Amino acid sequence: MTVQNAVLQVGPLMPMVQTAITRDHDALQLPAGAGRSAFLADHASSITVAVTSGRTGVGTDLMQALPNLRAVINFGVGYDTTDVQQAVERGIAVSNTPEVLNDCVADTALALYLDVLRGISAADRFVRRGDWQTKGNFPLATQASHRQVGIVGLGRIGSVIARRLEGFDCTIRYHNRSEVTGSPYEYVPSLLQLAHTSDVLIVAAAGGASTHHLIGAPELSALGSRGYLINVARGSVVDQSALVKALTTGALAGAGLDVFEDEPAVPPELMALESVVLLPHLGSGTHETRAAMADLTLKNLRQYLADGTLLTPVT
């Protein structure tokens, strides 16, 4: 039997969120694979709210298949996997979970920064393999303090990253679509120029069509053979093929990557490189932050069902 004003779960969610929306709102779960068409035929017209994550989203085809959709409640700060343009055109509200993950994502960026420049993970492997005993001292690394750091995207997370790097006496510049009023850091209107003047480029920009492959071969070349790239944003912001080529040819000194273009797939060429640190998209992955994200997701859902508004709307 079709339930009116149904809540739909799209993709996997944190157990706390999944349990709550099922218990409190009788949420339906969108099947994967062959069962999806039959499910939508039975339930599409009843669904008014979708609860999803930044990794899954409500894409173009699914949104079109839900004629009475009124809100997309998103677990995560990124929402580039949701068709926001269509949502705006149809008056569909979209929320995310900003602010609560700023610290942990910034901490991850800093961990990658220190790891890549100082070779921490590589040195750990060096010891575990027994190379310290058989080969002598670990090769010299790069100093992490007093570096020229460029931040691509000085938003909520980028600003927290910058403040942390002040403690390392780094010179910080940034590139945005527009200058941030009141920022203490130098604004560089040209991304290519920012790369050219940076020892390390940290990517904290939002994903989506407007930033797709924002950083490509020209920017990586400008960063140079002694430069490093850190990406805690979205894999789509960096041209991954160009990045692999730069790293494997030595045109770039190293990279710290928490995100990839086709997750969870990671280019095999990167696996063998000691100069690259690879993380499984865990920027916000702490008990404290995920609990805060779950709480905000559920508050958005409850408020929307109560009065049609969102605590943290993006549209």
Residues 144 and 258 in one domain: yes
Half-sphere exposure in the Cβ direction for 117 (13 Å, CA): 23
Per-residue pLDDT of the chain (315 residues; tens, 9 = 90+): 344 679 999 999 999 999 999 999 999 999 988 899 999 999 999 999 999 999 999 999 999 999 999 999 999 999 999 999 999 999 999 999 999 999 999 999 999 999 999 999 999 999 999 999 999 999 999 999 999 999 999 999 999 999 999 999 999 999 999 999 999 999 999 999 999 999 999 999 999 999 999 999 999 999 999 999 999 999 999 999 999 999 999 999 999 999 999 999 999 999 999 999 999 999 999 999 999 999 999 999 999 999 999 999 998
Assess whether 234 carries a catalytic annotation: yes
How far is it, in rounded angstroms, from Cα 77 to Cα 289? 12
Tell me if 267 is assigned to some domain.
Answer: yes
Residues 51 and 170 in one domain: no
Cα 147-152-153 angle, rounded to 5 deg: 130
Which of these is catalytic: 281, 287, 290, 302? 281
Name 203's Cβ contacts closer than 8 Å, sequence gap at least 6: 152, 153, 215, 229, 230, 231, 232, 233, 237, 238
Residues 213 and 76 in one domain: no
Look up the pTM and report it. Answer: 0.94
Which of these is catalytic: 175, 234, 261, 290? 234
Tell me if 313 is assigned to some domain.
Answer: no
Which of these is catalytic: 99, 166, 186, 263? 263
Find the CATH number of the domain harbouring 94.
3.40.50.720
